[in-house]
Structure 1
Amino acid sequence: MRRLGAIVLALLLAASLAGPAGAKDPRWVFYTKDRTHYTSPWFKGAHRIMVPFGCTRAPYYSPDPRCEHDHGFHHGLDVAMPCGTPLYAAVRVRVMPNDSLGPAYGDNPVLLRNRKKHFDLVIGHTRKVYVQEGDMVAKGTMFARANDRGAPDGCHLHFEQRAVGGDLASAVWPRPLLRLTPPDAS
């Protein structure tokens, strides 16, 4: 009985340290006026955009000639979410080698490809990845969880859509691919 009590106490303590599922990370900084919480078939829950695609005042990017006021250019979309948030394949994808991705994506980024729909999707700042290079991942499969590795501003995911086999220069606005939807939208 004493051992059971200790186990229950340990589980309660672990749950309290993890915080509630919708807990806000005190390190989050939002570089957008958009306060909408979006859902997506790519992740669980509804979450806010931290750094939008394109010109941004976020301090992590060097000034870019495409942007005014010495702002930098963000090639993806950062979505704030608690660490451990599950990620799902919204369509069938193949896991590609991630060795071409630098440290800005964290130490365990995922590179997914769908040739039929003509995209590569880079997902940065993942914690645990349940798939391996070469795997074909079926639609609806949980393949990773969110983390804060390589992210100075707390737990979030970086989504970057590229051309198949493309590099950073081929990045395009990823919002249509992510199918971001306000929770109350029909």
Structure 2
Amino acid sequence: MKRKLFSLFCAVLLTVGIFTPAGTPAEAATTYYVKVTTNSLNVRSGPGTTYAIVGSAKLGQSFKYLGVSGGWTKINFNGTSRYVSSTYVKKYSVSTLSTTSTAKMIIPTKGTLTQKYGPASGQYGYTFHNGIDLAAPRGTPVVSAAYGKVIVSRNYGAYGNHVMMSHQLNGQTYITVYAHLDRLNVVTGQTLAKGATIGTVGNTGNSFGNHLHFEVHRNSYVYSSSSPANSINPYTMF
């Protein structure tokens, strides 16, 4: 009887959300540091030799980077903002993953669904629609569906102005496609946060009215005009 009551209690806790699944990678955060490259480096209260020396940093020590002012680098020194000569420090970055109970994508623009994912009539040269179409006024912002890296940003072919991004969610690689854009706001190689603007809704390429064509592919980008190939229904990711 006690075992049954305990099982029922756990089920209730799961239902109301007190128990949550183990965290999974969701967003990457980049923090910048500087490393001292000389044997002894004066730490000053301000950006210049006229400011008082408040300490000394040793070769190989690292400090959180807070910015620059002229030829001086601002650092976190013992919990306080201080300055060192930029000549004798080297900047580097450290990326870490934050975790949440779920790692999902967001809808990349505000629009009306005009074509679903799935079988199509063949009217426009394809019998399977690999993504979704969201109609919206020209110039409506289009944002990154998840944290990731821009792997394509160009005007080419049926997609017209389009962006492709690579993402890591729950240990799985996904490729997202944002097509028929009016404007491209990003370049290949950029790393973007979830929700960062990548362009605006347009009517470029093989398009018949202002809308965003959005695709999600698992592992890599493989397109087929007659089958899903490795695309998946974007709505399963929101």
What TM-score bracket applies, with the shorter chain setting the length?
Answer: 0.5 to 0.7
Determine which structure has more spread, i.e. the larger CA radius of gyration.
Answer: 2
Alignment-derived partner of residue 163 in structure 2: 110
Q: Given residue 134 of structure 1, which amino acid in structure 2 is its aligned partner?
A: G
Q: What are the Cα deviations for residues 86-120 of structure 1, in whole angstroms up to 9, with x where unaligned?
A: 01223211000357x961111x2100110344210
Alignment of 1:83-162 (within 5 A): 83-97=138-152, 103-106=157-160, 108-116=161-169, 117-162=172-217
Q: Given residue 175 of structure 2, which amino acid in structure 1 is its aligned partner?
A: D
Instruction: Specify whether residues 163 and 80 from structure 1 end up closer, same or farther in structure 2 by C-alpha distance, changes over 3 A only.
Output: same
Q: What are the Cα deviations for residues 28-86 of structure 1, in whole angstroms up to 9, with x where unaligned?
A: xxxxxxxxxxxx5422x3x2211111112261034xxxxxxxxx111111111111110
CA distance in 1, matches of 2:129, 2:139: 24
Alignment-derived partner of residue 165 in structure 1: 220
Provide structure 2 residue ranges, at least 5 long, that are not aligned to the other structure: 1-105, 224-228
Does the 8 A contact of 1:75 with 1:160 survive in 2?
yes
Q: Given residue 128 of structure 2, which amino acid in structure 1 is its aligned partner?
A: F
The TM-score with structure 1 as length reference comes to 0.61
CA distance in 1, matches of 2:153, 2:134: 21
CA distance in 1, matches of 2:137, 2:117: 21
Instruction: Specify whether residues 152 and 92 from structure 1 end up closer, same or farther in structure 2 by C-alpha distance, changes over 3 A only.
Output: closer
The TM-score with structure 2 as length reference comes to 0.48
CA distance in 2, matches of 1:167, 1:41: 21
Does the 8 A contact of 2:152 with 2:162 survive in 1?
no
Structure with the larger helix share: 1
CA distance in 1, matches of 2:121, 2:138: 25
Q: Structure 1 stretches (4+) deviating beyond 3 angstroms?
A: none
Alignment-derived partner of residue 42 in structure 1: 108
CA distance in 1, matches of 2:210, 2:132: 14
Question: Aligned pair count?
Answer: 126
Does the 8 A contact of 1:125 with 1:158 survive in 2?
yes
Structure with the larger strand share: 2
Q: Given the alignment of the two structures, is residue 55 of structure 1 paired with residue 110 of structure 2, yes or no?
A: no
Of all paired residues, the percent bearing the same amino acid is 27
Give 1:121 shift. Answer: 0.4
Instruction: Specify whether residues 83 and 58 from structure 1 end up closer, same or farther in structure 2 by C-alpha distance, changes over 3 A only.
Output: farther
- Comparing 162-171 with 80-89, which one deviates more in the overlay? 162-171
CA distance in 2, matches of 1:162, 1:98: 17
Larger relative contact order, structure 1 or 2 (CA cutoff 8 Å, min sep 6)? 1
